[in-house]
Amino acid sequence: MEPLLLALDQGTTSTRAILFGPALAPRATASQELPQHFPAPGWVEHEPEDIWQGALATLRAALAQGGAAARDLAGIGITNQRETVVLWERASGRPVHRAIVWQDRRTTAACAALRESGQEALITRRTGLLADPYFSATKLAWLLDHVSGARAQAERGELAFGTVDSFLLWRLTGGRVHATDATNAARTLLFDITRGAWDDDLLRLFGIPRAILPEVRDCAAEFGTTTPEILGAPVPIRGIAGDQQAATMGQACFAPGMLKSTYGTGCFALLNTGATPVFSRHRLLTTIAWQLGGARTYALEGAIFVAGATVQWLRDGLGLIGTAAETGMLAQQADPAQAVYLVPGFVGLGAPWWDAEARGAIFGLTRNTGRAELARAALESVAFQTRDLLDAMAADIAGEVGVAASGTGDTMVLRVDGGMVASDWTMQFLADVLGAPVDRPTVMETTALGAAWLAGLQAGIFPPPGGAGDVPRAFGATHWRLERRFLPQMAREEAARRHAGWLDAVRRTRSGG
Ligand SMILES: Nc1ncnc2c1ncn2[C@@H]1O[C@H](COP(=O)(O)OP(=O)(O)O)[C@@H](O)[C@H]1O
Ligand SMILES: O=P(O)(O)OC[C@H](O)CO
């Protein structure tokens, strides 16, 4: 029997484990909600013990549901919410504080101070990122400064820092392995993405002792084995990647110019830019897409903090809808004569605006505006935000050798996944606003698929990539299947007019506007 692969996807709102059979066919899925903690406005925390218990429970449940045992597994792949910070005691394995989540804005002032003192240029040059509270370093510095005794303990080498993957790896291996992969390291603000190493200048800038950092490995590597009591026998952990990077692999975006966008709570679009990093001139992020055999592939990333969360707000905050799926039906019924724009700046605006102080706004209300127009505006906001990201990407790659617009001919094709792409109406409007095809695949668990693929690659189940051109043949051609392509139907002038209305709404929403 061909060995099985187990993927652990530790996300912001849930933890999922998926067992994959031969040819990466999903065989069993287990999932558990992750409780959220909001101790102050703008603060978001997770209990590390909840993360750990959720991982244990779902790994065990997926294996049992699939009628499999530890000995049937060729490996485990871990993929995770990125940037979230855990700090724990090496001796006891006990976290010294709750995890500070990527959405947490408590370090907004510290980031503003970095920008004002002219430090952002160094940060961007080394890490491809910006001085924004989204990333790990200022959160880690906050923990070292606010948890009693933590800084002294850290300097004595008694504490370990990790993104969620590192923390899970530490627990799964019984405290034997303190490591991460290059994609997670690339989100900390402490990692030089060109050299592929922790950066001493940045460690000094943020006041982070080197002794607490994990070792950085390839995405497909030997990360150690699980302790026997976890699944009944030791299982090798053979893949790690941040969730958006894993989705980029799961969407088989292996050639430069290929692009995917994931629509869950937020939205993350990644464009493969090949072996050389492209540093954005339009406030996008430059990040490591994957590191295999010591060679790095880079991506341009647009991160939007709120996408499907707007739909949740219509349901849970306003009570305008009973289920997320109702929004599509309402959008269809909405009055075409009303131009209502909803700018979902609930936690500020992400790429390409990076305005932490902005707050949400709705424009164009009349006495005829009802829930249908609001539902349509919520769905449209996701497409307009994507258009802003893709416009910035197109401008960044114009003239870059080897990063032509992807897919077929000169047209940019967007591969989509995440809970929100179930909405046909939204996907059609997305194609209309982008003026580009939108491809929805058959397997929607692209994040877990990417993690399983990494573990299978390391286990030797899949042929190793012998060069950039071999990877798509080894995976994309065999494991990615189109479920439906949405083609643009709206006249280009109409799409341009609506997008201009959106940009005006964003301008009026921004804190300096
Ligand atoms: N049919 C639908 N139409 C519009 N939005 C939807 C639909 N189904 C799910 N969603 C939205 O998708 C999101 C869930 O996607 P998911 O990928 O599970 O998110 P996450 O992994 O970030 O928790 C929710 O915000 C929900 O409102
Ligand atoms: O957990 P998700 O799917 O919402 O993804 C979170 C991202 O990794 C944050 O950068």
Asked if the model's pLDDT at residue 412 lies above 60, the reply is yes
Q: Is 327 in the pocket of ligand 1 (CB under 6 A)?
A: yes
Nearest CA to ligand 1 atom 25: 308
> Ligand 1: which of 311, 316, 342 to mutate, judged by most atoms within 8 Å of the beta carbon?
311
CB-defined site of ligand 2, < 6 Å:
11-12, 81-83, 102, 242-244, 264-266
Question: Would you state the structure tokens that stand for residue 286, as one six-digit string?
Answer: 């430059």
The fold of the 4-243 domain, in CATH, is: Nucleotidyltransferase; domain 5 (3.30.420)
Please tell me the distance from the alpha carbon of residue 430 to that of residue 512, in angstroms, as a whole number: 28
Tokens at 118, concatenated: 């002219």
Q: Residues 6 or more apart from 53 whose CB is under 8 A from it?
A: none
**Best mutation site among 102, 134, 446 for ligand 2 pocket (most ligand atoms within 8 Å of CB):** 102
d(CA 31, CA 20): 15
ipTM of this complex:
0.97
Ligand 2 midpoint to CA 12 (Å): 6
Instruction: Looking at mean pLDDT, say which of 10-24, 86-100, 382-396 comes out highest.
Output: 86-100
Q: What is the 3-state secondary structure (H, E, C) of 117-145?
A: CCCHHHHHHHHCCCCCCCCHHHHHHHHHH
Residue 353's pLDDT is: 87
Q: What is the pLDDT of residues 345-370, one digit of tens each?
A: 988 888 888 888 888 999 999 999 99
Question: DSSP readout, 172-202?
Answer: HTTT---EEEHHHHTTSS-EETTTTEE-HHH
Is residue 100 scored above 60 in pLDDT?
yes
Q: For ligand 2, what atom is nearest to the CA of residue 102?
A: 9
- Say how many Å lie between the CA of residue 264 and the centre of ligand 2: 8
Domain pair 4-243 / 252-441+481-513, same fold: yes
- CATH code: domain 252-441+481-513 is 3.30.420.40
Residue with tokens 């290059």: 182
Domain positions in the chain: 4-243, 252-441+481-513
pLDDT digits (tens, 9 = 90+) for 265-288: 899 999 999 999 999 988 899 999
- 11 alpha carbon to ligand 2 midpoint, in Å? 6
The stretch 399-414 carries a mean pLDDT of 59
Ligand 1 closest atom vs CA 13: 23
**Confidence band (pLDDT; 50, 70, 90) for 295?**
very high
